[in-house]
Each structure stands twice: as structure tokens, then as C-alpha cells.
Amino acid sequence: MSDKFAAPIFRPNTINLFLVLVIIFFVFGCFCRSDRDVLPASNSSEPVSNQSGNTKTETTKNNSADKSGGGQKDDKGDFIVEHGTVQNARYKEIDQQIKDEKVLEDAAAQLNKNLKLPTDVYLRTKDCGEVNALYDPNDTSITVCYELMEHFYTLFKASGKTDQQAYDKMFDAVRFVFLHELGHAMIDLYNLPITANEEDAADRVSAYICLEEIEGGVTSVLAAADAFSLESKSRSTGKRDMADEHLLQEQRFYNSLCMIYGSNTVKYENIVRQGYLPKERAVRCQTEYERTMQSWQELLKPWRKK
């Protein structure tokens, strides 16, 4: 919506997207599996915006021992960029910039340097005709739709952010979503054992990567939490939401805060002190986070390249 989203404002910030994707792949380097996804949402907006987020979370936890089971996997595929032709004129500029700057190409190169794959995985950014981002197991592709980026921008703008703030948060949220989809891809292609809700697992691996593998990545988890919160307030929860495979946006909001707080209870203590996260849940977050982190580290170990 809004013409504001078109060219003029979008352009200067495109660089953020480039950095977002490249940094992800450069630092982390390896994953993937699943279907369609849109970020749902939860209550209590403006969760921890004053978090001064940046700073890389120190990886000082009891690292999941090097007890990687199973041997190393064979590398039989690559991350491959696929560019299409944008249909909606409003997205032409961002589409062209992504192509010109070779954002996806750089990202694919970094991923290929760090991760093994059992088959090729295609990376796409395009207009989809709907607000979405998805991993498609049928053609093993990860797609981020321009409509989703616009949705985030509009959402943050409507919450009172300036154009620049809305764009910055949009890119942060997109990074969280991309990693969520990468999580689906990994679960699928690596045939990883997930014993509970896969959507929740994808959220958690995204949070884990942001908090452990990406410098300043906490801003992405915060942006996603904000989006969950804002989206939950924009509509009432119905039967369809309750039955959906995604957790309710409110739950995703609190889970995101729990991951952040659990990653460093001293650094992020204001999340609890200021009442964003109830103490009853907060006391469990460190253990919850460490289990999540250790589980993913172990699961991905056979697929990481040296």
C-alpha cells in the first residue's frame, strides 16, 4: 500500500537488505526445509525497542559439547539464485537493485562456502501477489516476497515510526523471516527430527541464529516480536487462528522475548523488569534458550563445512 513504499524511500535502504542477507550467510553459513509462512502477531506492542539491541550476544554458554553423533554428510547440492521478472511495477526498483547488487548471489556464495546440501536450494526475492515468505519443499526454494517487506514497513510506520525507522525495522524483521524459512528448509532437507510444532521450531532456530551467529542480530528478533505484537492487535483471534499450525502471534511475541532474555538474562533484564515478559515465564527462559541452542548446534553439525 501507500505510494511511499515505492521507489524514493525504498532505494537508500536497499543496502540494508544486502547486508542482512550477506551477513547471515557469512556468519552462519548453513541450513534448511518447509512450506508457506507469514508472520502472525501478538499483543503488547513496542516490546523492547529501547533495548539498544546491537551487540553480539556472547557465546559463553556451556557449549553443547562436541559430541556430534553421526558422521559428516556428503555435499550434493548448492544454493542457487533464481531471478524472475517482477510483475508489480511498484517493486521494480527494489527488484532491480537486488539484481544489480548481486545480493542473493553473494548470499548463496557464503552459504555454499559454509553448508552442505543434499540437493540444490533456490533463493528468490520477488513479488508474489500476497504477503508471504516461504520454503517450498516441492522445488526446494526459499522465497521472500516484496509484499511482505511492504507489509512490515506499513506496519511499523502505522505504529508511529519514521520512514527510516520503519525501514530499518522492516529489514530486521525480514532477516528473522528469512532465517525462519531457512529453518524449514533445514528440517526438510536434512531430515531433522523435530518432535513438536515445526513452526515453533523454525521461529526458534531463527532466534538462535540471530542471537548466536549474527552480530547485532538481536534487533531482528526484536523487530519480529514487534511485528507479532502489532499484528495481534490489528485483528481479533478467531477459530482459524487457533487451529493454525503457527502459534498465535501473542505466543510468538512472548517466545521471542523469552529467547532474547534467555540468551543473556543480565544484559536483557529490562525485558522482565519493565514488564514485557511475565516473571513466571522468564524464570524458565535461560534453560529454554540453552536447550534450543544446543539442540540446533548438534543437529546442524554434520552439515557444516569446515
Residue 111 or 134: which CB sits closer to Zn ion?
134
121 membership: H or E segment, kind and range: strand 121-126
Distance CA 104, CA 177 (A): 15
Residue 188 C-beta: closest distance to Zn ion, Å? 11
Cell numbers describing residue 225: 516480536
What is the number of the residue whose Cβ is closest to Zn ion? 37
The interface region with Zn ion, picked from 9-17, 33-41, 149-157, 215-223 by CB under 5 A, is: 33-41
Residue 34 C-beta: closest distance to Zn ion, Å? 6
Q: Sign of the C-alpha dihedral, residues 203, 280, 261, 294?
A: negative
Residue 144 C-beta: closest distance to Zn ion, Å? 13
Residue 184 C-beta: closest distance to Zn ion, Å? 5
- Within 149-208, the residues that bind Zn ion by CB under 5 A are 199, 202
Residue 36 phi/psi, 5-degree rounding, is -105, 150
Residue 95 or 199: which CB sits closer to Zn ion?
199
Q: Applying CB under 5 A, which of residues 5, 37, 208, 303 lies at the interface with Zn ion?
A: 37
Alpha helices in 198-248 (DSSP H): 198-213, 218-233, 239-243
- 128: closest CA among 111, 142, 113, 148? 148
Residue 4 C-beta: closest distance to Zn ion, Å? 29
Residue 137 or 302: which CB sits closer to Zn ion?
137
The interface region with Zn ion, picked from 29-37, 49-57, 83-91, 270-278 by CB under 5 A, is: 29-37
132-to-40, 93, 147, 205, 287 alpha-carbon distances in Å: 11, 19, 7, 19, 32
Residue 202 C-beta: closest distance to Zn ion, Å? 5
- Within 253-292, the residues that bind Zn ion by CB under 5 A are none
Distance CA 44, CA 34 (A): 29
Binding-site ranges for Zn ion (CB under 5 A): 37, 199, 202
